[in-house]
Amino acid sequence: SDEWWRSAVVYQVYPRSFADSNGDGIGDLPGITAKLPYLRDLGIDAVWLSPFYPSPQADGGYDVADYRDVHPMYGTLTDAERLIGTAHDLGLRVFIDIVPNHTSDEHPWFQQALAAGPGSPERARYWFVDSDGGPPNNWPSEFGGPAWTQVPDGQWYLHLFDRKQPDLNWENPEVREMFLDTLRFWLDRGVDGFRIDVAHHLIKADGLPDFEGDWDDYVAGCLPTNTAPFADQDRVHEIYRDWRALLDSYPGERAMVAEAWVTPHERLAAYVRSDEFQQAFNFDFLRAAWDATDLRAQIAATLDANSAVGAPTTWVLSNHDVIRHATRLVRANPATAPWVLEAGEPTPDYATGLRRARAATTLMLALPGSAYLYQGEELGLPEVIDLPAHIRQDPAFVRADGQLLGRDGCRVPLPWEKHEVAFGFSPADKSWLPQPEVFGELAVDQQIGQPDSTLELYRTLLRVRRERELGSGALSLVDLGDDIVAVDVATSIGTTLVVVNLGDADWPIPADARVLVATCPDVSDRLPTDHAVWMA
């Protein structure tokens, strides 16, 4: 087995916002298929598709009404098969998103549960509980308010997310069977891997006891996650061992990656034992400030924890849940939850943000392990901050009464061609979220072939990463001063020295160094502030 996933670069596609083929202003599967050659040329190994299933879209499709079909606005099952086949022909693997913690309230199971009433086997697939005088416990929903909603007959049901996302009861064997069948369904259609949504939430502590900790500390990752009775419970691992056994019964090393917001590192490492997930997202870079000490500490801690279990490390700078890193890395108040901006926060300076984003990516793509990219970061897209309130859809915005701007700002449709309608996103002059003017300058056709562009930087980084086998190298931190993050990556090709300058002064580049890639054009003898370089 070649364990291809160990060093894979995976590109996340948010289907609603990638490319629209039929002119309704909403991206779709044929749109993605048509752009697969672009992704092959970028130099990635695999594509991960966020949910494209039938769904009322209360949470961007993370509210699934049918796990084995395609939402008509995205196309058909045949389109999904065509996408997978085309990707394989181009040498790309395909991951899809599985959302097992909850269904949509419009899933037939939940509708049957409502109709069947208290005590029924239909209700036993979810968490329906009797309680007089308020919710059964104090658990909060991730999107604000209590995690419980009452139905007309008096029972309450649990939803760790939106009230349109009722939590499944994973103690129920029918639930376990349904997901094994769903995985088989997609494995049979050639899918190479699964990204498992909130993989740490499936098992709830016996008796559903109150949460005793502080919610803000929990969200900030300062508490051991399993101190919450709804997260990282030990028995969750049983489920993933069953899944891994199923994946291993298929040819071609099918993989799964856990989205598990679990601290400390040692507990997250438990998800990547050899009979469970191949990978778990490491979200440290999402929480890290633009600070050399912080970045070095995160890298060291991650490597320690993962080397103990022999699992590859993963690195993530952006995804569909967090502020784009070209904006996040200059945010005035990085101490607050990193995934949403607060209403009225000052708009971060884009030029500085873009410099830092390019430097951060240059660091990330040199680090051994697997890297995850989010659509549009290769264009240097900023978070779109000034979307009108009536257009924002994200429940994180809606349930916070607009106090938090939510996650729509990183989900604005991609610009492909500056001079086309909708910047080439759609054949019609339509885009489900309005694209700001700056997207025109950042469009793919403006960057391709421009040596100083962010797109060409990504292409070069990915090519050199492959040539020098950095993804499977041995990494050590190098001390070049307090404001410098420096690492050595040793492979059979040689040693690559990566330097990121977070200080105010230029860093002098040694005379005998051979520059392989740099984030600024002229680095013959000095590396300016907020820039990064790979040297041999």
List contacts with ligand GLO (CB under 6 A).
59, 62, 99, 161, 197-198, 259, 320-321
Q: Which of 259, 276, 284, 378 is catalytic?
A: 259
Residue 3 is encoded by which pair of tokens? 């364990």
Q: Given the complex with ligand GLO, which of 163 and 320 has the nearer CB atom?
A: 320
Burial track 322-361 (b if 16+ CB lie within 10 A, e otherwise): bbbbbbbbbbeeeebbbbbbeeeeeebebeebbbbbbbbb
DSSP string, 25-43: SS--HHHHHHHHHHHHHHT
Least distance (Å) between residue 200 CB and ligand GLO = 10
Strand partners, 534: 498, 517
Query: Which CB sits closer to ligand GLO, 63 or 79?
Result: 63
Active-site option among 97, 122, 162, 197 = 197
Q: How far is the CB of 456 from ligand GLO (least distance, A)?
A: 30
| Nearest position to ligand GLO, beta carbon | 62
Q: Quick count: other Cβ atoms within 10 Å of Cβ 275?
A: 10
Residue 259 a catalytic site member? yes
Q: With contact defined as beta carbons under 8 Å apart, do 45 and 94 qualify?
A: no
CB 25 within 8 Å of CB 430: yes
Nearer to ligand GLO, 59 or 377 (CB): 59
Quick check: is 142 catalytic? no
**Could you write out the three-class secondary structure of 156-173?**
EEECCCCCCCCEECCCCH
d(C-alpha 411, C-alpha 438), whole Å: 15
Least distance CB 446 / ligand GLO (angstroms): 30
Nearest approach, Cβ of residue 339 and ligand GLO (Å): 9
Smallest distance from ligand GLO to CB 442, Å: 24
Residue closer to ligand GLO by CB (options 28, 259) is 259
Contact 371, 365 (CB under 8 A): yes
CB closer to ligand GLO out of 62 and 507 = 62
Please say which residue, 79 or 321, places its beta carbon nearer to ligand GLO: 321
Q: What is the DSSP string of 266-287?
A: HHHHGGGSTTS-SEE---HHHH
Could you tell me which residues come within 8 angstroms of residue 441 by beta carbon, excluding any fewer than 6 positions away? Answer: 418
Q: How far is the CB of 414 from ligand GLO (least distance, A)?
A: 18
Residues with catalytic function: 197, 259
